[in-house]
Amino acid sequence: MTDKETLIRQYAAGDLTWHALQERGFNDYIQVLAALGELGLRPPIAPMTGPNRAARERGRAMIRDALRARP
């Protein structure tokens, strides 16, 4: 396993942040998404706690509504 794969796996598990990946050489979040896809992994889900919880809930609701409205 390469260092890049290890970092991506740690990110997917929630052990590393996007900021930490940037410090380790990832310049673009698209790189991260592509690497996650290559490994069959998904981005980590932010915990539903803290001051941004309401904003995350609204965002998820908007996405759900948009997906339901698709033909």
pLDDT one-digit tens code per residue, 2-61: 999 999 999 999 999 999 999 999 999 999 999 999 999 999 987 778 888 888 889 889
For 26-55, b/e burial (b = at least 16 CB within 10 A) is beeeeebeebbeeeeeeebeeeeeeeeeee
Which residues have C-beta within 8 Å of that of residue 48, sequence separation ≥ 6? 56, 57
Instruction: Establish if 55 belongs to a structural domain.
Output: no
pTM of structure = 0.67
Amino acid sitting at position 53: R
Q: Integer distance in angstroms from the first to the last C-alpha of the chain?
A: 42
Query: Does 14 fall in a domain?
Result: yes
In a domain, residue 66? The reply is: no
How many structural domains compose the chain? Answer: 1
Is 21 domain-assigned?
yes
Structural domain contains residue 56: no
Residues spanned by the domain of 27:
1-45
